[in-house]
Amino acid sequence: MTRRVDETTRPDLLERIVEYALANGVASLSLRPLAKELGVSPGSLLYHFHSKEELTIEILKAVGDRQRAIFASMHDGENGPPELGPNIWKIFGAPQMRPLFRLFFEVYGLALVDPDRFPGFFPAAIENWLGVLAGPLVQRGMSVTEARASATLGLATFRGLLMDACATNDDARIERAVEIWCASWT
């Protein structure tokens, strides 16, 4: 008996999985329903991703890559957080982006309880963004140490605002908070 070859490539499969996860979350993610929805076998998922936890990390990496690409496309080297912040918020804080951030906060909470379940999650979720956020500050003359500290404050604040938006959907209040926060960077 000849084994059927799965022609699905890992990047294509991951892209479809990301869309599924954004719509359904990961807390109750099960490989069999996921495989059925995608039209592949559970074994194919395990072949490409080895475990549900590795798959979850790959989902978040892909989502983070998308976000950093959006941020990079907005950064022109001249403007800093006060100028870019409101525009970045319009993209990342938009209601249609909330499933993405709910997924992120869901895994963040799970990883806090059991860090070994999602190895590498915290360094990637923090370091990848600190580099992106601190780089422009260093280019504007800030020391690396101060730029990383400022980026840490910015990342924590932005994530707090995103968490609030996911929890309350109080867009007017949060948008005003974003304006105040961005103005404080001057």
Per-residue confidence band for 78, with pLDDT thresholds at 50, 70 and 90: low
In a domain, 71, yes or no: yes
Return the sign of the alpha-carbon dihedral for residues 51, 52, 57, 61. Answer: positive
pTM: 0.76
CA distance 95 to 64: 17
Buried b (16+ CB within 10 A) or exposed e, 134-157: bbbbeeeebeeeebbebbeebbeb
Closest CA to 158 of 99, 58, 71, 63: 71
pLDDT digits (tens, 9 = 90+) for 150-171: 999 989 999 999 999 999 999 9
Q: 1 in a domain, yes or no?
A: no
DSSP 5-28: PP---HHHHHHHHHHHHHHH-STT
Task: Tell me how far CA of residue 102 lies from CA of 74, 108, 162, 164, in angstroms.
Answer: 24, 10, 9, 11
Q: Quick count: other Cβ atoms within 10 Å of Cβ 178?
A: 20
Q: pLDDT higher for 79 or 88? A: 88
- Total domains present in the chain: 1
Whether 173 is covered by a domain: the verdict is yes
The tens digit of pLDDT for each residue in 110-129 reads 889 998 888 888 888 899 88
Task: Single out the residue of 38, 24, 16 nearest to residue 102, CA to CA.
Answer: 24
Residue 5 lies in a domain: no
Residue 139 lies in a domain: yes
Q: Residues 59-69: what's their mean pLDDT?
A: 83
The answer to whether 129 and 155 are in contact (CB under 8 A) is yes
Residue 41 lies in a domain: yes
Residue type, 2: T
Domain-located, residue 3 = no
What CATH number does the domain containing 40 carry? 1.10.357.10
To which residue do tokens 């580099």 refer? Answer: 131
Range of the domain at 105: 10-183
pLDDT of residue 176: 94
- Domain annotation covers residue 133: yes
